[in-house]
Structure 1
Amino acid sequence: MTNEQNGLNTSCCSCNSGCCGSTESAGIAKRHICIDFMYLDLSVCSRCQGTDDTLYDAIAETSAVLKATDVDVTVNKMHVASEEQARQLRFSSSPTIRVNGRDIQMEIRESLCESCGDLCGDEVDCRLWVYQGKEYTVPPKAMIIDAILRDVYGNAENSISPVEEFIVPDNLKRFFQSKQRKDSEDGYENQLAGKLVGPCCERSLR
């Protein structure tokens, strides 16, 4: 798991005298936003790659507002590599973005993802994002900005759904099982190829 801290501290001096309008001197606690970015793959999946890029573009664009409102942001990038990890994270679809524990899109829509299919050797669906009535394979920057600012200005839903037993979707189970099988087959083939190539190389060196 990778944790990246964005330095959005708005303190302009260390005198603690209130000369800069410091929120600490005014007794106002600094607020914090935690953004979780969960994905199946960043090496080949264009949807996960695009979401990663757009997320950081959105954070950069909101940086002025975050500084002005004295909000710190932490981004947790999590590569979900197993069914058990998906269960622990309550990971329903790839990729997923959560702001302070809330998915920025509660409704799950998916479509066939060819790049993840090539990765695991089977048909796999990845997330579709719906914003202002249109579907996207990568979330629009405005969609992520809206989610961040809702939390900053207190317009996000305060209640999170009660914890219920989480069942990993069949789509994700198929991905993990197929990828594990493909990795095993690729490893065996590479091992076999190494054995076949070895003697040839040894003869050529004589």
Structure 2
Amino acid sequence: MKTIVIDFLYLDLNTCERCLGTDQVLENVIADIAPALINKDYTITLRKTKIDSVERAFQYHFVSSPTILVNGIDILGEVKENLCESCGDICGTETLCRVFEYEGNFYNEPPYGLLKEGILKAINGTMNREKKSMYQIPGNIMNFIAKN
């Protein structure tokens, strides 16, 4: 069996609408594609990780919330952000969270098609792995962690 490790990295799964929405879409995609992958001798491991410390942010090179990695590859495309009111309410300061571009439109939660395509491309080896540069925690993430 080949193992597919899906890491869902987030700041908050209680209040943040983007993280909650992403979690739901991800669960739906996995439920839909799992039977076909199991038939091809794959097993899926989903790990949900709250980024609640500087150490955890460094461990995952966390740059924006939410992030989904498949076998270590960020499948959500280039990091683009805008103001996230729910995270701002949590920590009492303006917080930027990820937005997702898919088929020429921007979304606060990744569309089903974006996640499904990203997971399958990562599994098939057709998604480019970005070169890792020197990691520095974005100030935005530092502020959120410090306030929680």
Whichever residue aligns with residue 24 of structure 2, its letter is D
Distance 1:47 1:96 in 2: 11
Equivalent of residue 97 in structure 1, options 68, 82, 95: 68
* Paired residue secondary structure (1:36): strand
Distance 1:81 1:156 in 2: 28
Whether 1:84 aligns to 2:55 is yes
Equivalent of residue 50 in structure 1, options 18, 21, 41: 21
Q: Which residue of structure 2 lines up, in the alignment, with residue 14 of structure 1?
A: none
Q: Which residue of structure 2 lines up, in the alignment, with residue 25 of structure 1?
A: none
Whichever residue aligns with residue 96 of structure 1, its letter is T
Pick which of 99-108 and 70-79 moved more: 99-108
Q: Kindly tell me: are residues 89 and 153 of structure 1, through their superposed partners in 2, closer, same or farther at Cα, counting changes over 3 Å? A: closer
Instruction: State the TM-score, normalizing by the size of structure 2.
Output: 0.93
Q: Which residue of structure 2 lines up, in the alignment, with residue 133 of structure 1?
A: 104
Deviation per CA, 1:13-60, whole angstroms, max 9, x where unpaired? xxxxxxxxxxxxxxxxx2111100000000100100000010010001
Larger gyration radius, structure 1 or structure 2: 1
Whichever residue aligns with residue 43 of structure 1, its letter is N
Distance 1:155 1:108 in 2: 19
Deviation per CA, 1:47-82, whole angstroms, max 9, x where unpaired? 000000100100011123212211100011000002
Q: List aligned pairs for 1:54-203, cutoff 5 A.
A: 54-157=25-128, 159-161=129-131, 163-177=132-146, 179-180=147-148
Higher relative contact order, structure no. (Cα contacts within 8 Å, ≥ 6 residues apart): 2
Deviation per CA, 1:177-196, whole angstroms, max 9, x where unpaired? 2x14xxxxxxxxxxxxxxxx
Instruction: State the TM-score, normalizing by the size of structure 1.
Output: 0.68
Q: Is the 8 A contact 2:7 2:47 kept in 1?
A: yes
Distance 1:144 1:70 in 2: 21
Percent identical across equivalent pairs?
42
Whichever residue aligns with residue 122 of structure 1, its letter is T
Q: CA RMSD in A?
A: 1.5
Distance 2:33 2:18 in 1: 22
Q: Which residue of structure 2 lines up, in the alignment, with residue 186 of structure 1?
A: none
Question: CA offset at residue 174 of structure 1?
Answer: 1.8
* Paired residue secondary structure (1:62): helix
**Following TM superposition, where does structure 1 have runs of at least 4 consecutive aligned residues deviating by more than 3 angstroms?**
151-154
Distance 1:169 1:82 in 2: 13
